[in-house]
Amino acid sequence: MSSKFLEKQETPTWIDQMFDEIDTLEFGAGFEHLQNDAQMQFGATETNGVDAIKKFFVRIDSPLEIKHQALEVWGGDGTKIVRGKATFRKKGSSDAMVTAPFIQIFTTSPEQDDLVTHWLVVAGPLQTDSIL
């Protein structure tokens, strides 16, 4: 088995699409890159399956005006590591936007480099008082 170091690369279109779909909660081509039984670990919450992952994002993001942005992507050997940020506030609020850094790690199928099998999200730190 060969091993390849992670290399910095352009953000794949499907990652930008996924982030846009999370922001708008209108799921389409981006989320088609999740294997049907994909597993997502978001902080302490584990979610299994595409439909459950969509419902998770609707639950946590529907009260928010939010924008996810990939700042850099590293990839190789079935792994994509995304360093980015999410800027958000409660919908209808005039409060300042809060920015939370994140790292997201996508593990992809050995047969298809853009089919996500596992998704790990580590976000923060952020001041939860500003959104709760």
For the chain, domains (ranges, CATH) are: 12-24+34-100+110-118 (3.10.450.50)
Both tokens assigned to 32: 């088609």
How many CB atoms lie under 10 A from the CB of residue 33?
20
- What's the DSSP call for residue 129? G
Quote the CA–CA distance of 116 and 95 in Å, as a whole number: 35
Place of tokens 């790292």: 103
Note the pLDDT tens digit of each residue in 53-93: 999 999 999 999 999 999 999 998 899 999 999 999 999 99
**How many percent of the chain have pLDDT more than 70?**
92
pTM above 0.85, yes or no: yes
